[in-house]
Structure 1
Amino acid sequence: INVTIARVAKTALPKAIYGHQLLFTTIKGELNSRPTRSTLATVSYKLSLVDNLTSNIRLIENVSNERFFISECDIISAIDISVQTMDRGECALIDSDTRHCYGDIGCLDKEIPPNSSNNSYRMIIELELHDWQSPSDVQKLSINERLYWGDKKRQMGNFHYRRQDYLTSLQCYNGAIRFLDTDMNPILISFNENQKSLLNDAFIQVENNVAQVNLLLKKYDACLNAVENVLKHDSKNVKALFRQGKAFFQLGLYDKAIQPLKLFLQIQRESSNSNADKEKVNEMILICENKLANYKKNEKEIYQRMFKPKTNKPQTNNTNQIDNTNNSWWPYIALGSAVFATLAIVTFIKHRKTS
């Protein structure tokens, strides 16, 4: 591998991407023939690990004629980014940090260890861009091609999911849906029902993954949309029912959560499959029923207070008001009587004097 790297670098022209984070040198290809986003590229590459402490180089993989859609997370970002600056037929030597390859956590499947101060390394990639082309109309692809791309993108989604990179995994799953969803992209070529069934099965599998990722991201409405798509094709899909119930539960829609959760338990009992989620489901159902019972109790109390008959207390107040109103006339009557008595006495004295 050292010989190959030296030979490529000897005649190469330097380029830099993202400063010193991603460096590569190239052998020129066809001028002005760079690919654009979402085009279908074909490349060959050798990926090697370089120990920063010992400078030892270890070949990780040697891949020929790999096809991928640019900027759709189909391949490691070091290759994905570099290809966008290359022409047809161009060769590149990429010196990449771990961030643009497999990150600090490495990749056990490829025997790439975690990156640390005691185990520091970078990646060297020998890359050749053979060709690229605009993508074909999905609706006119053969069923086998749609299944191939749907599965390839699903596997990349699973790879990122295991690494807990949920946003990237979701992007991969949505890319797979583009090839598998016959409502989004109807089949415009001849096919048989068995092929259509295979496509639907793959679609259900990926949509369930979409629902799971959205649950983890707390995007409950998106999760519900995904499970609805599954249940349209398979109304008793236990994964979809569980995730639907859980999404409704997290949204506080307890009345809607109970039905799919109970159906989940019923199907599980009929299939006699042991499932660790059964205990969780029973607990969620119990919480839902308690919440709804408390809600109905509180609602009943509120209605009782709103429509409770009036008591006699207000009538007593009205009586007191009437009594108080009558009592307020007595001072005036007493005053009038006093005035009348005074006038009578004055008249009597005056009459006595005159007589």
Structure 2
Amino acid sequence: MESVSIEPGESQADFIRNELNFDVDPEDSMTKAALSDHHKDECIDLLGNGQLKKTVLKKGENGTRPSRGDICTLKLTGKLENGTIVEEKEKLVIQLGDVEVIQGLDLAIALMDIGEIAKVEVASRFAYGSLGNKPNIPSDANIIYTVELKNVEPETDIETLSVSQRKEIGNKKRENGNWWFNRDEAALAIQCYRRALEFLQPSNTNSSDNLVDEIVTDAELQALLIDRINVSNNLAAAQMKIEAYDAALKSIESVLTHQPTNVKALFRKGKILHRKGEHTLAYTTLLYASKLDPKTKAIQQELAILKEKNAKDAQHEKDLYRKMLGAPKAKNIASNNVRKDNTKKNKNNLIWTLVGGVTAAALGALVYKFSS
């Protein structure tokens, strides 16, 4: 194969755009940082807004930056701006790009070489935000890390992993997703849950790439399925948070396919249908969940809301049918009946007034006749 090299006077951005047919913005701060070498003591503003800065303290081996999905071994120390140490890891193993560390570190590590030691200054937004991280990282804290990238290994092909290995990695990613979800970072939680599902699928035993020669028992496959169901349920909850209701419904259906009486999944399905405006179907779903678990107050509360909405929907449909048929609304009919009653009363009053007047006139005539 003929090698392709950068021509004299051609930038790396030009090379990527022209030869690799991949468009890049050479003025983007992150692109500049990714395409350039970082010299010792040079402070690089990775995002261009001062919220994530990297300074090389010790140069690493050139050309050894990790790729997304690589397994990175780190040594790191994190300090607050007053110098208080709040994080210290002698050997931290992460999968790059799977947000197994805070976002600022995930971005900065991708721009380090093996053996490099760097100072990474992370603003609160890309660290632990307004929640902090109890017990020692307060709210809205900027953190200054000293990071050493000790080793990088390529991602292992999932098909080469045993069931127990896939189960361990998948559940680690699920727990990481739960951590982000509890911090109200639904998008990051979704990313973790989706990665977890990739590992929790049973291996393709018919694949020529499957290098694991193992006998998988039914019990192991059942345990893997239960883990996958739990992740799908959590994924749906995170998707609901960002109002991705169609995706959430798909995740829930994958749970109910295997566990049609899963109350948590039925409750979430009912809420999703409610949000999508499918009130009747939502009510039916929640009613079934209520029969399975009549003590859960959240289900009863949702049912009460839907009962009222279904009544309004039914009345609205009746009004539409009346309008289509040219008939007045029930409210108008009632008003017309009241008006008719009032007219009838007024007519009766008029008749009795006339009768009274005639009677009075006749009596008057009789009195005049006999008195004269």
Same fold (TM over 0.5): yes
Residue matched to 1:346: none
- Structure 1 segment 303-322 matched on structure 2, within 5 A: none
Q: After TM superposition, give the deviation of residue 94 of structure 1 in Å.
A: 2.2
Establish whether residue 147 from structure 1 lines up as the match of residue 172 from structure 2: no
Say whether 1:17 aligns with 2:37: no
Mapped pair 1:219 → 2:244: yes
Match in the other structure for 1:233: 258
Residue equivalent to 2:16: none
Q: Residue 337 of structure 1 aligns with which residue?
A: none
SS of residue paired to 2:142: strand
Q: Which runs of 5+ in 1 are unaligned?
A: 1-10, 52-56, 116-120, 307-355
Whether the 8 Å contact between 1:249 and 1:284 is mirrored in structure 2 is no
CA contact (8 A) 1:215 1:247 kept: yes
Pairwise CA distance, 1:46:
1.6
Task: Give aligned-pair identity as a percent.
Answer: 26
Q: How many residues align?
A: 279
Report if aligned partners of 1:241, 1:261 keep a CA contact under 8 Å in 2: yes
Q: How does 1:90-101 map to 2 (within 5 A)?
A: 90-101=116-127
Query: Normalising to structure 1: TM-score of the pair?
Result: 0.70
Separation of aligned partners in 2, 1:85 and 1:218: 34
- CA spacing shift, 1:163–1:298, aligned 2, 3 Å: same
Identify which range, 290-299 or 21-30, moves more after superposition: 290-299
| Partner SS, residue 294 of structure 1 | helix
How far the C-alpha of 1:59 sits from its partner, in A, is 1.8
Offset of residue 95 of structure 1:
3.0
Q: CA 1:195 to 1:295, structure 2 compared with 1: closer, same or farther past 3 Å?
A: farther
User: Equivalent residue of 1:85, what SS?
Assistant: coil
**Alignment match, 2:86:** 60
For residues 163 and 292 of structure 2, the distance between their equivalents in structure 1, rounded to whole angstroms, comes to 32
In 1, the alpha carbon distance for the partners of 2:45 and 2:72 equals 20
2:283 counterpart of 1:283: no
Paired residue for 1:26? 57
CA shift digits 1:11-48 (9 cap, x unpaired): 95434132543132231222211111222222121222
From the CA coordinates, give the structure whose radius of gyration is larger: 1
Kindly state the Cα deviation for residue 304 of structure 1 after the two structures are TM-superposed: 5.5
Which among 217, 220, 232 is matched to residue 192 of structure 1? 217
Whichever residue aligns with residue 194 of structure 2, its letter is N
Please tell me whether the aligned partners of residues 286 and 299 of structure 2 are also in contact (alpha carbons under 8 angstroms): no
Structure 2: 5+ residue runs without aligned partners?
1-38, 328-372
CA displacement, residues 136-160 of structure 1 (integer Å, 9 cap, x when unaligned): 2223322222222222222222222
Instruction: State whether structure 2 residue 182 is matched by structure 1 residue 162.
Output: yes
**Map of 2:79 onto structure 1:** 48
CA 1:38–1:173: 2 relative to 1, 3 Å? same
Out of 114, 124, 130, which is 2:139 matched to? Answer: 114
Distance in 2, Cα, partners of 1:232 & 1:140: 28
Q: Structure 2: how far apart are the matches of 1:26 and 1:199?
A: 44
Q: CA deviation at 1:66?
A: 2.1
Q: What letter corresponds to residue 290 of structure 1 in structure 2?
A: A
Q: 1:264/1:47 Cα in 2 relative to 1: closer, same or farther (>3 Å)?
A: same
Q: Decide whether aligned partners of structure 1 residues 112 and 286 sit closer, same or farther in structure 2, where only a CA change above 3 A counts.
A: same
Conserved in 2, the CA contact under 8 Å of 1:106 and 1:113? yes
Contact 1:98 1:104 survives alignment (8 Å): yes
SS of 2:75's partner is: strand
Measure the CA separation in 2 of the matches of 1:12 and 1:146: 40
* CA displacement 1:92-118 (0-9 Å, x = unmatched): 22233323321243212x421113xxx
1:249–1:288 Cα contact (<8 Å) kept: no
Q: C-alpha deviations, 1:278-306, integer Å up to 9, x for none?
A: 32232144135425633663575467569
Change (3 A) 1:26 1:277: same
Q: 2:278 matched to 1:253?
A: yes
**Cα RMSD, aligned residues only:** 2.6
Cα distance in 2, alignment partners of residues 192 and 71 from structure 1: 33
CA contact (8 A) 2:54 2:118 kept: no
The change in CA–CA distance for 1:58 and 1:208 in structure 2 (over 3 A counts) is same
Shift of 1:238: 0.7
User: What code does the residue aligned with 2:144 have?
Assistant: I
Aligned with 2:128: secondary structure?
coil
How much has 1:251 moved relative to structure 2? 1.4
State how far apart, in whole Å, the 2-side matches of 1:104 and 1:292 are: 42
Decide which of 227, 235, 253 is 1:202's aligned counterpart.
227
Three-state SS of the structure 1 residue aligned to 2:129 is: coil
Match for residue 5 of structure 1? none
Q: Secondary structure at the match of 2:168?
A: helix
For the residue of structure 2 that corresponds to 1:32, the secondary structure is: coil
TM-superposition CA deviations, 1:71-105 (whole Å, max 9, x none): 22121123212211111122222233323321243
Cα 1:16–1:237 shift into 2, 3 Å:
same
**1:88 is paired with a residue of what secondary structure?**
coil
Would the aligned equivalents of 1:258 and 1:288 in 2 still touch at CA under 8 Å? Answer: no
